[in-house]
Chain A
């Protein structure tokens, strides 16, 4: 196989493309990406694909077995739950909720985190130092715990749990942003810009930020997997989304009641969460390896 280096003169891949090429080398990572893409498609196209309304109860079809069981029917591909709601539709909407909300939370928390981290990284002084140290100790506290604390204060419910997780994700983003910003600020090209008379704002957006993309992507994938696990954990504990919402964690805790007769009720939602998180983690791993390899070459 021809060495890519031979063509370096004619072929200068941009950092992004280079990363993608490195990423592609790992088959597992690509598989993960496909899986993730599948879920994202579900998020977008969900309502169009789902055969039934996820909240629709059918009193004549309680606890129907999945289609591959002798007593099942193709009408309800994955069977129904104790209130006669189609499991496939609920799963689709559930993935939609869990993944969709997680993406939203990650985006919001990253925006807030980057803003705060940039300010923290570019300013100096005792005040910022103290704030930094406090944030650092906050970072030591697991996101789920922070989320539980916030839900404990604000009360139970989906919206509150969303705020909780969003706020819980911020300290990590702030810390990493701050570190990167600080490191970049020491570098010579930034110094050069400064000498040219660039203001802080300009410095950030044109010098530092473009170099942060990688860190952001890595940070984003980590935050996403944490967000998915936390949202479903809160749903499972009854602190977040509430029944009859088709959120995957809620479905898992509801399905416990009939787990003997219909193990699908907990096997499927649980697998869905697992696969989503697995996809995100595998892609994240792949990205980090790709970035590392790119920097080494």
Chain B
């Protein structure tokens, strides 16, 4: 013990660090390659920066590595002014000889954009987020104006484009490092021994055990990062909680619903909850009669009491959903009217539509747990009860998850309990994949609903960049959804994180992965 106290600069020493209990292994340290939250958590905000970021509190887009940007009047050209003096990581395997500049931006984007880029196929060649949005087709060109200015040209205007550049996946890598690796013929090290500009630099990774990060002393934004950041990989949620309780971890990922009370009861732990950017809903197969009749759909929506569902299934960790968007989205409409529980009216509407007593329908329930619906089966059973009271018999159907999604795509269902988690804060990320005509083919439009009017509204919204103008169209879309009821939004589930009381600055980022950059321990 005396040995440890002899050095004066040792008091912070080994104890200055934060340990985070994460739920699994990342597949690599490049968030471009994967959409899984585990990979993003491990890399995106720790090792890298992006051109622009989402402010975790307001959801607005704020400058990152780009200090400012301009969008041309026709919405086709985006010019980014890059920050000067941003240093890359200095590690035993790489020493930067220059600061961040336009070449790095171009490299990072072209790597996934151009199939014949020398680094495109490295580590598998899959860039799932960008390809699902077809961004390589949206971007026409990326041009270097000078060392600190980059110009991106689009083929058509897309006002969600900036939001996509602010997601976790749009990390900026080091072109100089890539070059060095090419010369040494070790290209696949770029994603396992990463170099970025973020608050932490990669030190060591032991699969299924830990990831070690060290403070990046020359981080451009601030000097708040702790000396050491460690991800303690612990797949079992009860073990994560146990480690949190003993203090072996300072923060944990994904506490289970059953553990929330235990955390709340303890004074030395803090539970962070925030409505997540997700929505759980009940979708009707509008291509199948009688669910093609909006009156019938409205009646069914009125027949169930959403509050009981939220209490019984989400155990209180969700908030009633009136529309597609949760409160954290800037396009959230607070004054949206909700469908009220009204079994009498429901019965009446059903009779008017020619639905007799004893009509049978099925509800497909997901077999897996998801944040937006932790127990679809149980929910279906509760709904079965309500629907019985208005004279409707319900069969509950479920399959193994992959088979389930396949069959949904074929439109074999009458209705389904499922949901959606968004990847970025842009409302288009909800409206487009869930209810547009083209989404029927890609399988995300579970209601099989195709309304040219709706599609037009959504496309229109993208052509404007002003929030107010876009909001106008989203409100019209909301009204359309409320009138037609292709789906019944049920709940926006909370996202949880737990940490020890003495950890400051750890915010839940509804728009992305975990950030430890400015987290401090008292």
User: Which residues of A does B touch, CB under 8 Å?
Assistant: 59, 62-63, 82, 256-261
* Neighbour of A260 across the interface among B262, B378, B381, CB < 8 A: B262
* Neighbour of A259 across the interface among B238, B375, B378, CB < 8 A: B238
Residues of B within 8 A of A257 (CB): 236-238, 256, 258
Query: Given A257-B237, A257-B256, A258-B238, does the pair A59, B262 have CB atoms closer than 8 Å?
Result: no
* Neighbour of A59 across the interface among B237, B238, B261, B381, CB < 8 A: B381
Q: How far is the CA of A82 from the CA of B238 in the complex (A)?
A: 13
Q: How far is the CA of A237 from the CA of B248 in the complex (A)?
A: 23
* Neighbour of B258 across the interface among A59, A63, A256, CB < 8 A: A63
Q: Are A261 and B258 in contact (CB under 8 A)?
A: yes
Residues of A within 8 A of B256 (CB): 257
**CB of B309 closer than 8 Å to a CB of A:** no
Q: How far is the CA of A261 from the CA of B260 in the complex (A)?
A: 11
**CB of B241 closer than 8 Å to a CB of A:** yes
Q: What per-residue 1/0 map shows which CB atoms of B248-287 lie under 8 Å from chain A?
A: 0000000010110110000000000000000000000000
User: Which residues of B does A touch, CB under 8 Å?
Assistant: 236-239, 241, 256, 258-259, 261-262, 375, 377-378, 381
Nearest-Cβ distance from residue A69 to partner chain B, whole angstroms: 16
Query: Given A59-B378, A82-B258, does the pair A260, B236 have CB atoms closer than 8 Å?
Result: no
Q: How far is the CA of A261 from the CA of B262 in the complex (A)?
A: 7
Q: Are A256 and B378 in contact (CB under 8 A)?
A: no
- A sample of 25 inter-chain contacts (CB < 8 A) reads A59-B375, A59-B377, A59-B378, A59-B381, A62-B258, A63-B258, A82-B258, A256-B236, A256-B238, A256-B239, A257-B236, A257-B237, A257-B238, A257-B256, A257-B258, A258-B238, A258-B258, A259-B238, A260-B238, A260-B241, A260-B259, A260-B262, A261-B258, A261-B261, A261-B262
Residues of B within 8 A of A62 (CB): 258
Q: How far is the CA of A257 from the CA of B238 in the complex (A)?
A: 5
Q: Which residue of B lies closest to A257 (CB)?
A: B238
Q: Is the interface of B mostly helix, strand, loop or mixed?
A: helix
Q: How far is the CA of A261 from the CA of B375 in the complex (A)?
A: 20
Q: How far is the CA of A260 from the CA of B239 in the complex (A)?
A: 11
* Total A-B Cβ pairs within 8 A: 25
Residues of B within 8 A of A59 (CB): 375, 377-378, 381
Nearest-Cβ distance from residue A108 to partner chain B, whole angstroms: 35
Given contacts A256-B236, A257-B237, A258-B258, 8 further A-B contacts (CB under 8 A): A59-B375, A59-B381, A82-B258, A256-B238, A257-B258, A258-B238, A261-B261, A261-B262
Q: How far is the CA of A206 from the CA of B427 in the complex (A)?
A: 88
Residues of B within 8 A of A260 (CB): 238, 241, 259, 262
Q: Which of B258, B377, B378, B381 has the most CB of A within 10 A?
A: B258
Q: How far is the CA of A82 from the CA of B378 in the complex (A)?
A: 14
Q: Which residue of A lies closest to B261 (CB)?
A: A261
Nearest-Cβ distance from residue A238 to partner chain B, whole angstroms: 12
Q: How far is the CA of A260 from the CA of B264 in the complex (A)?
A: 13
Q: How far is the CA of A260 from the CA of B244 in the complex (A)?
A: 13
Q: How far is the CA of A29 from the CA of B378 in the complex (A)?
A: 50
Q: Which residue of B lies closest to A258 (CB)?
A: B258
Q: How far is the CA of A260 from the CA of B261 in the complex (A)?
A: 10
Q: Which of B259, B375, B377 has the most CB of A within 10 A?
A: B259
Residues of B within 8 A of A63 (CB): 258
Nearest-Cβ distance from residue B396 to partner chain A, whole angstroms: 12
Nearest-Cβ distance from residue B82 to partner chain A, whole angstroms: 48
Q: Which residue of A lies closest to B241 (CB)?
A: A260
Residues of A within 8 A of B241 (CB): 260
Nearest-Cβ distance from residue B312 to partner chain A, whole angstroms: 9
Q: Which residue of B lies closest to A62 (CB)?
A: B258
Q: How far is the CA of A137 from the CA of B93 in the complex (A)?
A: 49
Residues of A within 8 A of B381 (CB): 59
Nearest-Cβ distance from residue A157 to partner chain B, whole angstroms: 20
Residues of A within 8 A of B377 (CB): 59
Q: How far is the CA of A59 from the CA of B385 in the complex (A)?
A: 14
Nearest-Cβ distance from residue A65 to partner chain B, whole angstroms: 14
Residues of B within 8 A of A82 (CB): 258
Residues of B within 8 A of A256 (CB): 236, 238-239
